[in-house]
Chains A and B, each alone.
Chain A
Amino acid sequence: MRDWLSLVSRPSRYIGREWNIPAKEWKRSEVRVCLAYPDTYEIGMSYLGYKILYWLLNGFEWLSAERAFTPWIDAEMLLRSRGEFLRSLESSTPLKDFDFLGVTLQYEMNATNILTLLDLGGIPIRAEDRDDDHPIVIGGGPGAFTAQVYAPFFDCFLLGDGEEAFLELLRAYRDWRRAGGKRRDFLAEAGDHFPWLWVPLAHGRSKLVRRSIIPSLDEGFYPKVDLVPWTEIVHDRVSVEVFRGCTRGCRFCQAGMVYRPVRERSLDKVVEIAKNLVLSTGYEELSLTSLASCDYSMIKEALISLRSEFQRLGLRLSLSLPSLRMDTFSIDLAEEIMSDGRKTTLTFAPEAGTQRLRDVINKNITDDDIFKTVEELAKRGWNRVKLYFMVGLPTEGDEDISGLVSLVKGIHRLGKRFNRRFSLSVSLASFVPKAHTPFQWEGQLPQDVLRERMRFIKSSLKGKDIEVHYHDVDLSFLEAVFARGDHNLASVIERAWRKGARFDGWDEQLNMRTWISAFSEEGIDPYYYAQRKISYDEKLPWDFLDSGVDKDFLILEHRSALLGRASGDCRWDSCLRCGVCQKYSVRNEIASRV
């Protein structure tokens, strides 16, 4: 029993023992893994990749996977004051006693939380200070594509799809241990053997790390059950991944580049998984997830079969799609998922306010699409629309900002005309140039310019009952620093953490002064990282981490962007030679074409 629970905020995030937790003798497994999520329980438990690994690994007798999350600041202080280690939820084992500590890198600003996990778990925060008795700390997830930033804190990184690769690594480790091998020796050996594994201390940046790709989701693992938490989590529902990867080719989007090709799950599998998950958890909501679920080739069929399947079972279920495309097809889908006639909020991401700028970023929707969609949904009785835009996109000028304002005003007017109760909310985020995208050579605009543009938009929309929110510009600035960071930034992260930086991705937690002084004490100029434009022939710190997408393709896409030319989608247009399929012998797997 954790006797400190009554002393902290939200104690239910630390109690564990969720429904469906596997009945395992955790401490007896031959190989013990702790999947540690560098954010709160509510966020970590909502993340799909984490669930997949948890259930996959726990399916093997010799192997067990437990969970840990970064404790909130009050709980951290309490554990420290009592000299206690951070422990896993399942068997209450200090993190230092596992064979592997798996950390997912979902978001740049989780970096300091990783150090809390390590330090509070009794593990030296730098890999060079660990010995054979410490766990192997392995990183994965999208952040592994910029692993150079976090390298000193990790023993190794797994690049790409984790499910098969991680299992393979753990098997090799088991056999290595059986043969009497030492933990640290295993690392160098494994790094030589597995193309998708980067062991910074063994290879430096001399190895070209390849990506692990699962060619087909249907043949891959997907859990039949899910844990049911005792407290509300961010995505409080079961989810079925309908496809992985995306080839829309939005030029700002890292996920759309590094997870190619598109691999769709078959309709039968989607329905089967959904049934398993809903029956085993009792959840009342099911989400069909992916990078853009409206693009799933069997989406309509899926919604219809799910509805009839659950009707047959006599179970109420609401379906949800994470975000919608701006076309009437999507409105039809929205009608399909809205059970019981309830028309709540619809969310769209036009990203940019003018046609020119949408062509630059390759967001292939037209003003006409947007207005038709809004008219249609307002006519059909939808009351509330939420729009996401980015500010500070490459080539963006004043006319794009005023274009955004008039677009929003136009949408609002149109919506009101067909539905008196129509209301609009607009969310603005700063553009963050990301590694491995066509915009990796672009810089972020200075914070005051971004603020000025956002303020202009907000004040222009004042008094129109349009809600305008914006993402913290300072936070986006830090994201930009780390999104294109190099190996020099690890010491800044460590320094900021030592100065007390925690949960920096949470607006109210971010302390800019801490970060600015951490940068200056380490002699690092953050503006250089966030704001500078990089030339094509400069060697990039993440070049050795190969997503499969050719640099030449990214350059071509960047040039097209500057010319305002949109590119197609290789699912239904011709191949654009991004390089992934040739290099990795994979191809788009489209469910409707089987």
Chain B
Amino acid sequence: MRLRLEYRKLGSFRFISHLDWLNALKRALRRASIPIGYSGGFSPQMKISLGPPLPVGVEGLREYVDLELTEVRVPLDVVHKLNEELPPELWFLRCESSPDFDIVKFVNFSIYDVFLSSECELKLDGVKGALYKIIKLYPKVYRLFLFLTPGASGIVKLLFSSGLSWQDIFLIRRLGIWRFEDGKILNPFGEVEDLDKYIDKRG
């Protein structure tokens, strides 16, 4: 049974690297006695595939992972059991039987909120191709709509290339990842969501 789960990565847990988080998740799954399948071969690996990585230091509100179970389980039970083995900052929010497409190949679009340490104009001249839209939500807060490029540290590199450093950034938060298609966005469960909601609504 293949499941797709949505989770968040907040607070100081945003400093856990992608690989470290994978290991932490494997241990949480073992503690929760969730029957994960293993690959064959000389060094069997748990069948887990994480979605596109978050750069170290970036929060994620809606991140994704696929799990392959050897037995049928109620998806919501998996979420409850797993959350008992993780801190609230790393809680799972949703679990469905996995749609028939690979997350990483599916998504091509992401939205980030960037909280700056001090008020300054964010200029992202050099990256027109990747940038769909940028909105100033508050004096120090920008919302960036980006076409995803493969590779983890895209957003951080992008901000750095515009002259910023971590000294200037209070927080970066990824609101989610989607497939952008014909002016619409689809989440990794394949559901259409309202892009305007992110453009109009503040916060």
Structural contact, B27 and A283, CB atoms closer than 8 A: yes
Contacts A6-B57, A12-B16, A17-B87; A341 near B42 (Cβ below 8 A): yes
Structural contact, B57 and A340, CB atoms closer than 8 A: no
- Flag whether B20 is at the interface (Cβ < 8 A): yes
Interface residue tally for chain B (C-beta within 8 Å): 29
Stretch from B28-36, B98-106, B195-203 at the A interface: B28-36
Structural contact, B166 and A7, CB atoms closer than 8 A: yes
Instruction: List A residues 270-294 near B (Cβ within 8 Å).
Output: 279-284
Structural contact, A340 and B15, CB atoms closer than 8 A: no
Q: Inside 8 A of B166's CB, which chain A residues have their CB?
A: 6-7
Structural contact, A231 and B31, CB atoms closer than 8 A: no
Of A6, A232, A342, chain B has the most CB atoms within 10 Å of the CB of A6
Q: A92 → chain B, closest Cβ, in Å? A: 11
- Flag whether A534 is at the interface (Cβ < 8 A): no
- Flag whether A11 is at the interface (Cβ < 8 A): yes
How many pairs, one residue from A and one from B, have CB atoms within 8 Å of each other in the complex? 75
Q: Inside 8 A of B29's CB, which chain A residues have their CB?
A: 282
Of B13, B23, B38, B87, chain A has the most CB atoms within 10 Å of the CB of B23
Q: Inside 8 A of B127's CB, which chain A residues have their CB?
A: none
**Which of A230, A280, A341, A342 touches B24 (beta carbons < 8 Å)?**
A230
Instruction: List B residues 6-50 near A (Cβ within 8 Å).
Output: 11-13, 15-17, 19-21, 23-24, 26-31, 38, 42-44
Structural contact, B20 and A230, CB atoms closer than 8 A: yes
- Flag whether B192 is at the interface (Cβ < 8 A): no
Compute how far the CA of A243 lies from the CA of B28 in the bound complex, rounded to whole angstroms.
30
Compute how far the CA of A2 lies from the CA of B14 in the bound complex, rounded to whole angstroms.
12
Compute how far the CA of A316 lies from the CA of B44 in the bound complex, rounded to whole angstroms.
10
Q: Inside 8 A of A342's CB, which chain B residues have their CB?
A: 42-43
- Flag whether A536 is at the interface (Cβ < 8 A): no
Compute how far the CA of A279 lies from the CA of B27 in the bound complex, rounded to whole angstroms.
10
Contacts A6-B166, A284-B30; A17 near B12 (Cβ below 8 A): yes
Compute how far the CA of A340 lies from the CA of B44 in the bound complex, rounded to whole angstroms.
8
- Flag whether A566 is at the interface (Cβ < 8 A): no
Structural contact, B31 and A230, CB atoms closer than 8 A: no
Compute how far the CA of A12 lies from the CA of B26 in the bound complex, rounded to whole angstroms.
18
Structural contact, A2 and B42, CB atoms closer than 8 A: no
Q: A318 → chain B, closest Cβ, in Å? A: 9
Structural contact, B12 and A232, CB atoms closer than 8 A: no
Contacts A7-B166, A11-B57, A231-B20; A284 near B12 (Cβ below 8 A): no
- Flag whether B56 is at the interface (Cβ < 8 A): yes
Chain A residue with Cβ nearest B21: A230
Q: A182 → chain B, closest Cβ, in Å? A: 38
- Flag whether A576 is at the interface (Cβ < 8 A): no
Compute how far the CA of A446 lies from the CA of B20 in the bound complex, rounded to whole angstroms.
43
Compute how far the CA of A340 lies from the CA of B11 in the bound complex, rounded to whole angstroms.
39
Q: Inside 8 A of A209's CB, which chain B residues have their CB?
A: none
Structural contact, A7 and B167, CB atoms closer than 8 A: yes
Compute how far the CA of A7 lies from the CA of B117 in the bound complex, rounded to whole angstroms.
13
- Flag whether A562 is at the interface (Cβ < 8 A): no
Q: Inside 8 A of A315's CB, which chain B residues have their CB?
A: 30
Structural contact, B26 and A230, CB atoms closer than 8 A: no
- Flag whether A19 is at the interface (Cβ < 8 A): yes
Instruction: List B residues 135-191 near A (Cβ within 8 Å).
Output: 166-167, 169
- Flag whether A242 is at the interface (Cβ < 8 A): no
- Flag whether A556 is at the interface (Cβ < 8 A): no
Q: Inside 8 A of A7's CB, which chain B residues have their CB?
A: 166-167
Instruction: List A residues 220-245 near B (Cβ within 8 Å).
Output: 228, 230-232, 236
Q: Inside 8 A of B57's CB, which chain A residues have their CB?
A: 5-6, 11
Structural contact, A230 and B13, CB atoms closer than 8 A: yes
Q: Inside 8 A of B42's CB, which chain A residues have their CB?
A: 340-342
- Flag whether A15 is at the interface (Cβ < 8 A): yes
**Which of B15, B43, B169 touches A12 (beta carbons < 8 Å)?**
B15
- Flag whether A1 is at the interface (Cβ < 8 A): yes
Compute how far the CA of A6 lies from the CA of B87 in the bound complex, rounded to whole angstroms.
21
Q: Inside 8 A of A12's CB, which chain B residues have their CB?
A: 15-17, 20, 56
Annotate A1-25 by CB proximity to B: 1 below 8 A, 0 otherwise. Answer: 1100111000110111101000000
Chain A residue with Cβ nearest B90: A230
Contacts A232-B20, A341-B42; A1 near B30 (Cβ below 8 A): no
- Flag whether B96 is at the interface (Cβ < 8 A): no
Q: B115 → chain A, closest Cβ, in Å? A: 12
**Which of A1, A11, A17, A280 touches B56 (beta carbons < 8 Å)?**
A11
Q: Inside 8 A of B43's CB, which chain A residues have their CB?
A: 340, 342
Compute how far the CA of A5 lies from the CA of B57 in the bound complex, rounded to whole angstroms.
8
Structural contact, A279 and B31, CB atoms closer than 8 A: yes
Structural contact, A228 and B12, CB atoms closer than 8 A: no
- Flag whether B68 is at the interface (Cβ < 8 A): no
Q: B13 → chain A, closest Cβ, in Å? A: 7
* Apart from the given pairs A19-B86, A279-B31, 17 other A-B contacts in the complex at a CB distance below 8 Å: A5-B57, A11-B15, A11-B57, A12-B15, A12-B17, A15-B16, A17-B12, A19-B31, A228-B24, A230-B13, A231-B20, A232-B23, A284-B30, A316-B38, A340-B42, A340-B43, A340-B44
**Pairs A-B, 3 closest by C-beta atoms:** A282-B27, A282-B30, A11-B15
Q: List 21 A-B contacts (CB under 8 A).
A: A7-B166, A12-B20, A15-B12, A15-B16, A17-B12, A17-B87, A19-B24, A19-B86, A228-B24, A228-B27, A230-B20, A230-B21, A231-B17, A236-B23, A279-B31, A282-B26, A283-B27, A283-B30, A340-B43, A341-B42, A342-B42
Q: Which A residues fall within an 8 A CB radius of B?
A: 1-2, 5-7, 11-12, 14-17, 19, 228, 230-232, 236, 279-284, 315-316, 340-342
